Structure 1
Amino acid sequence: MSFHRHASLPATAAVLLAVSGCATDAPVVAVPSPPQQESALCRALHEALPDSVAGMERQDPEPRSELTAGWGDAAIVLRCGVPRPPGMSDPQGQAVEVDGVGWLVEERDGDGPRLTTASRKTYVEVTLGKQYAHDLGPLTDLAEPVSKTVPALFADEHGEH
């Protein structure tokens, strides 16, 4: 596992999103409405996602969709095909790289961070519960499926096409 912190994120970054919901039997999250090409990438990602992340079993949110996934009663929630977050344009934005996948890091008041993939052909957002306020370890379980199913924007980035 490799973590690399960056001071800023390029304005041309692309992202995949995930949003956490309420801590109920199955959390409720807003399902994104990406263009058809991005939906196809999200379906491929959905099929490649692991059964557990950070030791927590998969528990997908409601309404069920190939554009959302969750683990551990909304401790970790992923949404694929979300709009570009405004933070992608912030030259002071924080970023981290985990196993070759770049993520925009946005702090949320009273909760864990929201992370959005950068420089990918669709935006994937992952929200982490407050127990992950200082622990981005769950991204290590998500980096490989993202890198295998959601191509980088630039062919030479991380050796991907």
Structure 2
Amino acid sequence: MALALSGCGSGAGTVKVSVAAYSSNPLCAKASAHWPVTVSSQTARKVSVSSPTVRAWGNPAIIARCGVGTPAPTAAGCLQTNGIDWVSSPLDDGTRFVTFGRSPAIEVLIPTKYAAWGLAAFAAAAGQIPQNAGHCS
């Protein structure tokens, strides 16, 4: 996962990203319509794919993708922000957050520069995908 975030580059050009495996799920189209305009006061950037299910903001880039696999049940690294459960895992240069208890899941990669402050901006998008029985405890 460290490669996913560090591969973004630090320049202000196009952010290199890939479409997630389950991005064709209709719930991703619904969630993508609710991506935030700004994240941590950072504006959107151009991404290398033409899919509404992938978005980036700021420099270094905060990246969001809908359609990643749902994480396994866990208590470690599980947190709730604005009513959305997330599983976090450290990266070399930031943190990876994946929605928990929602399928398909949304992945947000946040560089260390921003900490996790930007995570709340994704509540509207994540809330478009129904919560199943999985919750952070």
Q: TM-score range by the shorter chain?
A: 0.7 to 0.9
Determine if the alignment matches structure 1 residue 48 to structure 2 residue 34.
yes
Determine if the alignment matches structure 1 residue 99 to structure 2 residue 82.
yes
After superposition, where does 1:136-155 map in structure 2 within 5 Å? Answer: 136-147=116-127, 149-154=128-133
Q: TM-score, normalised by structure 2?
A: 0.82
Consecutive unaligned residues in structure 2, runs of 5 or more:
none
Which of 61, 66, 69 is the matching residue for 1:83? 69
Contact 1:26 1:73 in 2 (8 A): no
After superposition, where does 1:3-152 map in structure 2 within 5 Å? Answer: 19-20=4-5, 21-24=8-11, 25-34=13-22, 36=24, 38=25, 40-85=26-71, 88-89=72-73, 91=74, 93-109=76-92, 111-132=93-114, 135-147=115-127, 149-152=128-131
Change over 3 Å in CA distance of 1:144–1:22 after alignment to 2: same
Consecutive unaligned residues in structure 1, runs of 5 or more:
1-18
How far off is 1:75 after superposition? 2.5
Contact 2:70 2:99 in 1 (8 A): no
What's 1:14 paired with? none
Structure 2 distance, partners of 1:145, 1:152, is: 12
Secondary structure at the aligned position of 2:102 is classed as: coil
Structure 2 distance, partners of 1:35, 1:57, is: 23
The two structures, once aligned, show a CA RMSD in angstroms of 2.2
- Alignment identity in percent? 23
Q: Which has the higher contact order (CA 8 A, sep 6+)?
A: 1
Structure 2 distance, partners of 1:56, 1:35, is: 24
Moved over 6 A (4+): none
Q: TM-score, normalised by structure 1?
A: 0.71
Worse-matched range after superposition: 93-102 or 73-82: 73-82
Structure 2 distance, partners of 1:114, 1:83, is: 13
**Larger CA Rg, structure 1 vs 2:** 1
